[in-house]
Each structure stands twice: as C-alpha cells, then as structure tokens.
Amino acid sequence: MALSKKVYASLACASVIACTWMMTCEAAFAQTSGAAVSPDANPDIIVTANKREESINRVGLTIKAIGAEDLNRRQIRDLQDVAQAVPSLSFSQTEQSTPVYTLRGIGFYDTSLASYPTVSVYVDQAPLPFPTLTALTAFDLERIEVLKGPQGILFGNNATGGAINYIAAKPTSEFSAGGSLSYGRFSTVAANGFASGPLSSNLLARASFNLTKGSGYQISATRSKDRNGAPDTLAGRVLLTWTPTERLKVDINLNGWRDRTEPMAGQYVVFMPTFAPTPVNGPFIPNATSSNRVADWSQDFPPSADNRLYQAVARADYDLTDEIALTSLTSYIDYKHDQVPEGDGLPQHRIDFDYNRGYVKSFSQEVRIADNVNPVFRWLIGANYSHDRVYEDNFVDFRDATTGNNPAFIGWKGNGFYARQRMSNYAVFANGEYSLGSITLKAGARYTEARRRTYNCVYSPYDPALSGLNDPEPVFFTDLSNLLTGANQPVPGPRECYNILPDTLLLGPYIKSLNQNNLSWRFGIDWRVTDQTLLYFNLAKGYKAGGFPTLSGTGTAFAPVTQESVLSYEGGIKTQSFDRRLSINLAGFYFDYTNKQLRSKTVDPIFGAIDALVNIPKSSIKGIELEVQARPLAGLTLGGALTYLDATIDRFTGVAVNGVSATFDGSPIPYTPKWQIGSSVNYTIPISETAKLFVGGQLTHRSATNSVIGSPKQYTIPSYTLVDLQAGVELEDGRYTIMAWGKNVTDEFYLTNVVSSVNDGIGRYTGRPATYGVTISFHY
C-alpha cells in the first residue's frame, strides 16, 4: 500500500510538471509580447480560502468559485443546484429530507439532525454545523466558494471532504437596490430583492429577502389528482457594517428563514419482505415508473413541513498594528424542525412518519490574530469553541408491514424514538506561509477536543393500560427483558423508554458519552513558475468527529462511530495564457481514508438487518480534476470540468444490506461516481449601445454509482446527463434584465438515491423534472 501511494504521488507530480512545462511556454510567449491584458480576459476572482482576501489563481488549493451572475442566471437556489454546478460535488436525497453532500468521494450518509457532515458549510466563515441548517442560505450572494480536500486547519473538525463558504453580498457605501420576479412551471413564483446603502457616515446596511411559492410537481401513483412537493419558503437577511474608528470594523449578520415546502416522496420499487408476506402486502405495491414526477404517499399523514431558522453573527476586526489584526467571530443559531416526511413511497403504512420534529441550538466563538500583510511571512493563530444541543423525535407507523402482520408481532403498529445530544468542541490552531522569492512554504496545525453525549430512547406514546392488542410492543420488550434478566420490570408508560440495553439487558434509555481528540495538520509548497502559472503540492490530514445515530432499535444499534481521518496527497497546477483568455486548473490527489463512517447494517436478534453506524477500517480514493475556461472571442465564454474518482474499500468485513455478513474488500465506496463532467457555454453580444443579448447552456454528466456497500444491482444509481439553458436581454447597461430559462430541459429521468429500511422494501428518490420559466430583474 505504501509503495502504491508513492507511485501514484510520483505519477501525479510528473504529469503536473509536464503540463507546467508546456503551458508555461505559452504563458511566457504571451507576456513577452508586451500586450496589455485583454478586456475579454477571464476575471481575477477574489476568494477567502485562507481567511484573507486573495486571487484564486494565487492560492495553492483546488477551489471552485461561482459568482453572482452565474448564481442568478443558472437559478442556483440550494446545495442541490450547487452540486450540479460543481462536478466533484454530489447531492443525495434522504428519507427525512436531510441533505447529504459528498465532495471528491468523501461524504457521510445519515438522516439524523445531529450528524456532522464531512463537508462543512459556512456563511461568511460563520458555521452552519448540520446539513439541515443549510436549506435556504443561497440568496443575495456575492459568490459561493467550494474548497476541496481536507480543510481542518482553518475550518475545523468535520471538513475532511472540504468546505463550502457562502459569501453574502455586502453593504455598499452608496445607495443601491435590486430585485427579481420569476414565474415558472408548476405555477412557481419566486421573488427576491435587496436595498443597500449608508445609514450614517460610519454605518452601512443591507437588507434582502427571498421567497418561493408554487404547486406540487409530484403525482400520486394511486390518486391521480393528488399532488406533493409544493414549495413554500421565505428567507431574509440584514447586514450592518460599523466602522467607529479607522482600526475597528464590526459586521453584524441577522438572518432567518421559514420552510413549509412539502417533503419529497419516494418511489417504492422492490418488495423484499422482512418476514413472510401476509395478505395486506404484495398486491398494493405499484409498478416502478420512469417518471420524475410519479410517487406515492399516505393520505393519513401527507408530507408537510414547518421548519424555521434564526441566526445572529457578529464579527469584529481590530488592527493592532498596520500589519497585525485581531478578529472575533461569534455565531448563534436557533433552529426548529417540524415535518412529516414520507417514509416508503406507498399509500399504505409500511414505514411512515407520523412526525419528525426537533431543534438545534448552536453557539460558536472563534478568536484569531493574523498578519496577512507581510509579503514574506504571513501567519495566523487562533482558538475556537462550539457547543451544540440537538433534539430529534420521531414516530414511525408500520402497521401494514410484514413486521406488524407477522404472527409473532401481531398488533404492532409503530414506535417512537428520540435522541438528545450535546456536543462541545475545543480547538487551537495556527497557520503560516513563508515566501522565498517564487517559492512559498506552507504549514499549519489544529488540535481539537470533541465531546459528545447522547440520550436515546425508544418509546410508545400510548398508555400501557390501554395498549393491549392495540400496541403490544412495550409489553413484548418488557417480557423479553424480564425473561433474560430474571427481573420484574413493569411495562413502561407513555414515552417511557423500553430499549433493551446491551450491557445489562434491562429496559431504559441508552446514555453514553464519546470523547476524542485529534491533531489536524498540513504542509505544502507553492511554486510560482511565472506570474500566470502556479504549481503546488499539499500533504494534509483532517478529521471528522465521531457520533451516535438517532434511530429505532435495540441497544447495539445505538453504538457510536469513532472519528474518521483522511490523509491527503495533492499536486496541482493553475495557469493562464493568451492574455488570460485561457485558464487551466489541473489537480491529482490520493486520499488514505481511515475509519470511514458509514450508515450500514447490523443484525438484530429480533428484527434481523437494521440500520447502524459503522467504521470502515481502510479505504482509499484516487482522483484527477481538470477545469478549463476559455474566452476565444469577444463575449464568448466556454467552460469545462472533469473529475475522475477511483474510490475503493480496502479492508472491511460487515453486514450487507440483506443482513448477511460479508467481506467488502475491493468494493466501491457508495455515492462516488467514477466520472463527473460539466461543460458550459455563454455568449453575450451587444444589440445597441445600452443593450445586450445573452444565451447560455450547461451540461452535467454523472456516471453510475451505488448507494450501499457491495454494489447490489437493486441499489444502483444509474448514470445521467442534464442540460440547462438560458437566454435573455440586458437593458440600460444591465439595469434591467429579462430572461427565459430551463433546467433539465430534456426531462431526463434520473435518481439521486436508492434506500432500504428494516421494513420490506427498496425505495428511490428521483431528480427534479424539467422546469422552465421567465425572470425579470432590475438593479440600480
């Protein structure tokens, strides 16, 4: 294994050096010609990957930046849209509408509110620590930065795959305002707007909003007039920038949103009974469809949601000297979760959620001191603290499943389960860059202590005195526990825990703690071959914290996963030529993945294969990324990006999705398509002195992948290709815009996930159908 790593790293470096040689010659020719930079050159994008502003082409790191114009024209409104615009980023839909995103093959599939991701998300560097909190952040933005590879030094734990930073549009020193109104398919109306300007000589403000309202696009397979999936969102943000002195600047970000969008229903595709079939099952299962719109859901508990978030962020920057600055960043989030997701894609109750509710309360504080001005030695040291409290409560109805109709469990109709989790994280970090002419040496480290405590409970909401044949499940577990232990425990009352604990076999809540620490580090070297060509190599190690699941099961299912780590080797080149009309970024990487966290299966002695979190001891990811942007003619921009992944489990013996123990050495890692390709074309042509016509299009392709380990055929996510188009007119030098747009214009049928559960079957989630509309916008 060690030899193969060295060989791969050598090949990656050799290919990068060869490309450097060829492209540097072209760059040198362009520069010696003495011509000024062309007005049609690719723009110099400013990013904050190192927590300071600098040109994207001078950062020795693979970064994808999406600017405001692309965000608006491509109708990018959430992380699913972002994933379509970034080939190495994947999005997966889950049963409980918890988004899962995977970057360069590194991701963590779990539906729990309290699960930390592997790709951390931020708004102006303030964390959104759980995936559910990211739902409605993509509005009134200056850009989105996607940083690839472990980012643990500056962005903390839980960034083994990378980090996504939303950069909000900032208050302006002069008054400006703008907005847009869209009308699209499924009677969808979307409106947004902003106003910005000075409130006094040292106080600037910006206020913005975004709302969406529409009809459902999903059609019930058994009730042709029923619809689901109607969007209903409202979001707002207020930014204040106060500069009381020349050395002190204070930024305040107050934002919030409300989401009443109906959760997506899945398609039920394969009947796989947990127990012998009974008459209530088989005949009611619809045939699988090849439509993005057809699905099904229960009439008793139709999908609904009423989720909301409030966030307050305060940032203070104080210049201690002309070179050294002190920064404090404080964030608090209050999130309420209240929804009824559709669990099985059937009108029956095979596995339906009567409710899925909870809350997140998150506080974080970072203090850092940095010298970002010194041209020779730039450094940063800091400390970070975060505390999260998460509560999640579910009730699952499975009265029509084989579990509830098996003679051994006759009358079982469902159960509730909840978890209260507290997480505290403490960290200190340092980063430095030392320049020696054209060479820059980089090093950084972060020490983290992560503490988590959980209280898991499986319960019945019913009074045991009235349960009888209506709900015999608590009685069953009480009798079983008493039989195994010789105890004489009473039947638990409403919302009292009847978990069988793994240590004692008695009933009660599962209460455990998980305390771990780690040291993330990074070493790197940048070589600026010419002013337009950068060669870089990074060696980094990052960690994701361990955690507990939120699920229904017996004691062993609640066992935690320990922290995972990724050792990353990456070499790359960034080069521009032909007066910056051509930009090429190429990177090769190798990830040595230890204790990868995975939601898989364990064998329960009563219920068979049930969900559990497990660690995969060893796996690896090899990959290459290429991004090209060219402006061969005035007004014409061509773009292309390609990601190749070879993501493999190297060593793991566990339980397959069918409950059978197996060895998975050599199996692909789930949710890692081998090929991810994107291309774009945009053309703008003047049609008068103050008006321009523009047209654009994007193509995205993902090769096939699998949603579970072992790659069983039923869990294949097939390859797909999506096409988006835009065309419009800008009037009065961009003050007014009228645009027609379409997304997935070919109405490609594609899947974002295939899932299984303990009860009887396989379901899948489709991508969005073709949508199109018209947008009118103004800016002054």
- DSSP annotation string for 636-688: EEEEEEEEEEEEEEEE-EEE-TTS-EEE-TTPBPTT--SEEEEEEEEEEEESS
Q: Supply 163's token pair.
A: 């980090």
* Sequence letter at residue 146: V
Q: What is the pTM of this model?
A: 0.91
- 275 has pLDDT over 70: no
Q: pLDDT per residue over 284-307, tens digit each? A: 555 567 899 999 998 888 999 999
Indicate the range of 397-411, 448-462, 509-523 predicted with least confidence.
397-411
Q: Report pLDDT for 287.
A: 58
Place of tokens 């999640």: 392
d(CA 293, CA 219): 6
SS3 511: strand
d(CA 275, CA 402): 6
Nearest Cα residue to 114 out of 337, 360, 340: 360
Q: pLDDT per residue over 689-712, tens digit each? A: 899 999 999 999 999 999 999 888
- 23 has pLDDT over 50: no
d(CA 749, CA 742): 16
Q: pLDDT per residue over 354-390, tens digit each? A: 899 999 999 999 999 999 889 999 999 999 999 999 9
* Mean of pLDDT over the chain: 89
CA terminus-to-terminus distance, the chain = 59
SS3 557: helix
Instruction: Give the mean pLDDT of 248-274.
Output: 90
d(CA 294, CA 720): 18
Domain covering 2-460+495-779 assigned CATH 2.40.170.20 in the classification: yes
d(CA 613, CA 562): 10
Q: Report pLDDT for 67.
A: 92
Q: Supply 676's token pair.
A: 């991810």
d(CA 138, CA 305): 20
- 19 has pLDDT over 60: no
Q: Cβ of 121: how many Cβ atoms within 10 Å?
A: 24
The whole-angstrom distance between residue 98's C-alpha and the CA centroid of its chain comes to 9
Q: Report pLDDT for 676.
A: 97
d(CA 73, CA 83): 16
pLDDT band at residue 410 under the 50/70/90 scheme? low
Question: Containing H/E element for 764?
Answer: strand 761-766
pLDDT band at residue 152 under the 50/70/90 scheme? confident
Q: Report pLDDT for 471.
A: 66
d(CA 224, CA 221): 6
Would you list the domain boundaries of the chain? 2-460+495-779
Q: Report pLDDT for 12.
A: 43
| 34 against 206, higher pLDDT | 206
Q: Report pLDDT for 27.
A: 41
Q: Report pLDDT for 348.
A: 81
d(CA 541, CA 150): 7
pLDDT band at residue 620 under the 50/70/90 scheme? very high
d(CA 173, CA 203): 9
- 614 has pLDDT over 50: yes
d(CA 98, CA 112): 7
pLDDT band at residue 607 under the 50/70/90 scheme? low
Indicate the range of 139-143, 500-504, 740-744 predicted with least confidence.
500-504
- Contact (Cβ atoms closer than 8 angstroms) between residue 305 and residue 283: no
Distances (CA, A) of 250 to 54, 194, 207, 208, 673: 21, 21, 17, 19, 44
Most confident of 399-408, 477-486, 736-745, 759-768: 736-745
- 554 has pLDDT over 80: no
d(CA 444, CA 542): 11
Instruction: Give the mean pLDDT of 419-431.
Output: 97
3-state helix, strand, coil in the chain (%, to 5): 10, 55, 35
Burial-class residue 2 by CB neighbours within 10 Å (0-12, 13-18, 19+).
exposed
Q: Report pLDDT for 465.
A: 64
Instruction: Give the mean pLDDT of 196-215.
Output: 97
pLDDT band at residue 45 under the 50/70/90 scheme? confident
Burial-class residue 578 by CB neighbours within 10 Å (0-12, 13-18, 19+).
middle
DSSP 8-state secondary structure symbol assigned to residue 507: B
- 466 has pLDDT over 80: no
pLDDT band at residue 274 under the 50/70/90 scheme? low
pLDDT band at residue 544 under the 50/70/90 scheme? very high
Instruction: Give the mean pLDDT of 545-560.
Output: 87
pLDDT band at residue 600 under the 50/70/90 scheme? confident
Q: Report pLDDT for 511.
A: 95
- Contact (Cβ atoms closer than 8 angstroms) between residue 324 and residue 247: no
d(CA 433, CA 331): 28
φ, ψ (nearest 5 deg) of residue 277: -60, 150
Q: Report pLDDT for 683.
A: 97
* Sequence letter at residue 346: L
- 117 has pLDDT over 60: yes
Q: Report pLDDT for 757.
A: 62
* DSSP bridge partners of 361: 334, 389
d(CA 149, CA 675): 18
Nearest Cα residue to 667 out of 644, 690, 646, 696: 646
Longest alpha-carbon distance in the chain: 91
- Contact (Cβ atoms closer than 8 angstroms) between residue 671 and residue 705: yes
Place of tokens 């020696």: 436
Q: Supply 501's token pair.
A: 């604990």
Instruction: Give the mean pLDDT of 739-768.
Output: 88
- 509 has pLDDT over 80: yes
Instruction: Give the mean pLDDT of 439-443.
Output: 97
Q: Report pLDDT for 397.
A: 84
Counting every residue written for the chain, the total comes to 780
- 204 has pLDDT over 60: yes
Q: Report pLDDT for 290.
A: 84
Beta strands in 129-231 (DSSP E): 141-148, 162-168, 176-184, 188-200, 203-213, 218-220, 227-228
Place of tokens 């993945």: 593
Nearest Cα residue to 299 out of 357, 385, 221: 221
Instruction: Give the mean pLDDT of 312-333.
Output: 97
Q: Report pLDDT for 346.
A: 84
Q: pLDDT per residue over 651-690, tens digit each? A: 999 988 877 889 999 999 999 999 999 999 999 999 998 9
